[in-house]
């Protein structure tokens, strides 16, 4: 059983208009993606030095690895926290660390956008086996996409196509153990759409069953959260953050 008590249940989270599907994305700074800040600029410089190649994808992979190393995975709850603040704290949730990756991309001139997904709270049961009654009914997830060349590439396929990742790790992402969603991107297929399903059935890494609703695409995560709010209402974020904000997610 999940809970709606701590969520902004009064919001009507419905897919946005057709324009959301055509979100152009952007490389401009936002309140969350404050890439002009010196901490983001320093991370960009380090990623450029660490990149194995000269392309945009190589830069993003290097940035992802550096964020994994430098920003500890915790159960932070404020999705609107700026990327620079996450870097300063050296800890953050998967959502906050994904925002840092987006900020680095924009700092490098790579446009980003996000797809809003409303994910069933039961997906996080394995993380909180004794606190299931406090797990939100649904979780608003901002899933980044990056404009690489002439196409948009979802963060799920930043390292490799889903099929290749699935072959390397058939078990898929189970949201258990030490691997978090952010780290899983490097080695595990995260398929929110069931795109890896075929005539023989769906793969073990198909997560489409936990997606309650596709909210559409937005030019920034700021726009997504402005339209649909964060997963928890503000009092719950403050109280929960104080209790879980330093608890390791790994």
pLDDT for the residue 177:
77
For residue 244, name the pLDDT band (cuts at 50, 70, 90). low
The number of beta carbons lying within 10 Å of the beta carbon of residue 15 is 13
Q: Is 72 helix (H, G, I), strand (E, B) or coil?
A: strand
* Ranges 217-221, 238-242, 246-250, most confident: 217-221
pLDDT for the residue 12:
56
Q: Is 190 helix (H, G, I), strand (E, B) or coil?
A: coil
φ/ψ (deg, to 5) at 85:
-70, -40
User: Model confidence over 21-73: pLDDT tens digits?
Assistant: 579 999 999 999 999 999 999 999 999 999 988 899 999 999 999 999 999 99
Torsion sign (Cα): 52, 56, 62, 66:
positive
For residue 159, name the pLDDT band (cuts at 50, 70, 90). very high
Residues 100, 43: Cα–Cα separation, whole Å: 9
- Name 65's Cβ contacts closer than 8 Å, sequence gap at least 6: 50, 186
Q: Tell me if 136 sits within 8 A of 121, measured CB to CB.
A: yes
Structural domain spans, the chain: 22-244
Residue 245 pLDDT > 70: no
60 vs 202: which has the higher pLDDT? 60
How many CA atoms are closer than 13 Å to the CA of 226, on its beta-carbon side? Answer: 10
Give counts: helices (H), strands (E), the chain: 8, 6
- Name 62's Cβ contacts closer than 8 Å, sequence gap at least 6: 47, 48, 50, 51, 52
pLDDT for the residue 128:
78
φ/ψ (deg, to 5) at 241:
-65, -35
Mean pLDDT of 225-249: 65
Fold entry, domain 22-244: C8orf32 fold (3.10.620)
């Amino acid at each position: 059983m999940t809970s709606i008590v701590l969520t902004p249940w009064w919001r009507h989270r419905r897919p946005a208009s057709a324009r959301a599907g055509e979100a152009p994305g952007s490389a401009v700074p936002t309140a969350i993606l404050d890439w002009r800040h010196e901490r983001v600029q320093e991370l960009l410089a380090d990623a450029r030095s660490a990149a194995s190649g000269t392309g945009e994808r190589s830069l993003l992979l290097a940035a992802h690895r550096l964020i994994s190393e430098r920003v500890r995975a915790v159960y932070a709850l404020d999705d609107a926290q700026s990327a620079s603040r996450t870097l300063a704290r050296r800890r953050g949730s998967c959502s906050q660390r994904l925002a840092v990756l987006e900020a680095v991309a924009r700092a490098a001139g790579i446009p980003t956008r996000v797809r809003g997904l409303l994910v069933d709270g039961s997906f996080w049961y394995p993380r909180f086996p004794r606190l299931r009654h406090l797990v939100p009914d649904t979780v608003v997830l901002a899933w980044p996409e990056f404009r690489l060349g002439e196409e948009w590439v979802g963060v799920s396929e930043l390292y490799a196509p889903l099929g290749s990742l699935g072959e390397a790790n058939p078990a898929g992402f189970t949201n258990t153990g030490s691997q978090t969603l952010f780290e899983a991107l490097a080695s595990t297929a995260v398929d929110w759409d069931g795109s890896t399903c075929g005539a023989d059935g769906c793969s073990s890494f198909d997560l489409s069953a936990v997606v309650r609703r596709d909210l559409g695409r937005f030019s920034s995560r700021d726009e997504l959260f402005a339209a649909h709010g964060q997963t928890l209402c503000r009092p719950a974020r403050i109280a929960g953050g104080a209790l879980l904000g330093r608890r390791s997610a790994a």
